[in-house]
Chain A
Amino acid sequence: MEPVVDDIEQRHPSPRATFDRQLDRVKDDVLRLGARVEQALERAGRALIERDPDLADKVRWEDAEVNELQRQINTEITAIIATQGPVARDVRELLALYHAAAELERMGDYAVNIAKLAQQLAAEPEMPILKQIPRMEQICREQLRSAMRALVNISEEEARKVCERDDELDHLYSSVYEDAMQLMSVAPEQARQATHMLFAAHHLERLGDRVTNIGEDVVYLATGQVEDLNP
């Protein structure tokens, strides 16, 4: 059975074969970029919790690869637009992928910032990490995975869910803010640690917004309508 299908396809090549191949390659690269950023985030979070400056260092060094992959994706997309003249959903998809790659690169930077904070925290006297932070880091990674699935499958439904869940991160961040403020007032000697943790939570909250932006891109890609899903 299979060979027959192959035969037919060979005799009648799709007029989109080249374009589809190029598009698939970009999608693969964006997925790889997403996976790298997710890994960087996981490591940065672990470095923070486990006071591991070496792991944090790894995150900082490997960010160069994230940046390089994003540049490569940009080049690929630019070439497709220049040579294939994509229209309609095709051009929306390429733009969504282009923008998603930029957002992922920025998320990689947040992971680096968190890794730096982990190093600074590790240099301070030890104190427990505010419990909301590991939770935020976990939600960010789940959100990131969902957003990448939504992007690759062009799932409007999943993209909307990603955007809705951003509120959870916002609430956790507010809670970290309150706890950090309280800590600073009751234990001024721990103000430095409290500030580092507040900044880490802030980076995670910002990272969540970037994920939401990808969700918005997917909705635009699926519907052709621009919506603000994180007002």
Chain B
Amino acid sequence: MTESGDLMTVETEPKPTSIVEQSDGEGPTIRLMSSQLELDEAGGIAPAGGDQRVQMEFADDEVVFELDELSCFYGSFRAVRDISLQIPRNKISAIIGPSGCGKSTLLRSFNRMNDLVDTAHITGAIRYHGVDLYADGVDPVEVRRRIGMVFQKPNPFPKSIYDNVAFGPKVAGFKGDMDELVERSLRRAALWDDVKDKLRQPGTALSGGQQQRLCIARAIAVEPDVILMDEPCSSLDPIATLKIEELMRELKENYTIVIVTHNMQQAARASDVTAFLTMGEDRAGYLVEMAPTQDLFTRPAHRLTEDYITGRFG
């Protein structure tokens, strides 16, 4: 379960220990389980009100992830409770919520990053294109190749720009034209023009925003299907942030993007759908409302959402 193959280490998180540091909740165990969300037939938002959870439903061929009553545990501590939701294809889905509500834990369950935490486990299911990600026989390394991740702080390898991008494909046994792949990845990450004349310089010499785009290029290079982003702009200045957001909009043509962000304006600006999580009495995060971003930020269906996004609570 916790095998961390080269590919995964390379492509996603160079220092697995940071997962523990960054995980929500104090306990070191995660487990996903739940979601009992009700969606209406039309795929719209269920009628608002009360404690009813609000959910969205997409056509079968639009669904990349389907969470079914997912709960995530660290040991006996339940960080995320009973989340059911669908992540749509070629869209940017944002996950927002107060600190400690399990946003990152939830995101990490999408590519089994939490496997790296010994005590982490889940209940319920995550289906990725219909396949149970946590079923026996599923190779977490392959999971992480298809479902890449970009982290809060840009974390290029202490290698050249070129090697940062080429590393993942090399490890994965890529046999094609590496120069072409590196250029394509850098172009897609909107970084090519900035670095084409200095590909042999260290990635760490770039600016913060450029480093984050390099990390995105590195994630793209192994041709994933999904890119998970955990607070990708929290260490960037506003201009670099807007560049990443523009890049996300371009990338969604080819990839499905899920982003966790503390920055509600970023979720409002950059995402297509938004899921709002909050914490229950037991400190486990649960889903309150998932809706088209425009609706969630102009007329949220749930009182808890309204209170959170308008700063009345949280």
B interface: dominant SS: helix
Which residues of chain B come closer than 8 Å to A88, judged between CB atoms? 297-300, 305-306, 309-310
Assess A87 versus B312: contact at CB under 8 Å? Given A92-B298, A92-B299, A224-B299.
no
Query: Closest residue of chain A to B264, judged by CB?
Result: A87
Distance (whole angstroms) from the CB of A89 to the closest CB of chain B = 6
**Chain A residue nearest in CB terms to B297:** A87
Number of chain B interface residues as a range? 10 to 19
- A224, B268: Cα distance in complex, Å: 17
Interface residue tally of chain A, by bracket? 10 to 19
A16 in contact with B311 given A87-B268, A88-B306, A89-B306 (CB within 8 Å): yes
Complex CA gap A16/B313 in Å reads 9
Q: Is the CB of A85 within 8 A of B265?
A: yes
- The yes or no answer to A15 lying at the interface (CB within 8 A) is yes
A92 to B309 alpha-carbon distance, docked (Å)? 13
| Cα separation A178 to B86 with both chains bound (whole Å) | 63
Q: Mark B125-144, 1 if CB is under 8 A from A, else 0.
A: 00000000000000000000
The 0/1 profile, CB within 8 Å of A marked 1, for residues 274-314 of chain B is 00000000000000000000000111100001100111100
A42 CB–B CB distance under 8 Å: no
Binary CB contact string for chain B from 15 to 48 against chain A (1 if under 8 A, 0 otherwise): 0000000000000000000000000000000000
Asked whether A177 is an interface residue with its Cβ less than 8 Å from the other chain, the reply is: no
Are A90 and B265 in contact, CB atoms less than 8 angstroms apart?
no
Q: How far is the CB of B283 from chain A (nearest CB, A)?
A: 21
> What 1/0 flags go to A70-98 for Cβ under 8 Å of B?
00000000000000011111111000000
Instruction: Given A85-B265, A87-B264, A88-B306, verify A16-B298 contact (CB < 8 Å).
Output: no
Judge whether B310 and A16 touch: CB under 8 Å. yes
List the interface of chain A (C-beta within 8 A of B). 15-16, 19, 85-92, 223-225
Can you add 6 more A-B contacts, CB < 8 Å, to A87-B297, A92-B298?
A: A19-B311, A85-B265, A88-B299, A88-B306, A91-B298, A223-B299
Some 30 contacts from A to B, beta carbons below 8 A apart, are A15-B311, A16-B310, A16-B311, A16-B312, A19-B311, A85-B265, A86-B310, A87-B264, A87-B268, A87-B297, A87-B298, A87-B309, A87-B310, A88-B297, A88-B298, A88-B299, A88-B300, A88-B305, A88-B306, A88-B309, A88-B310, A89-B299, A89-B310, A90-B310, A91-B298, A92-B298, A92-B299, A223-B299, A224-B299, A225-B299
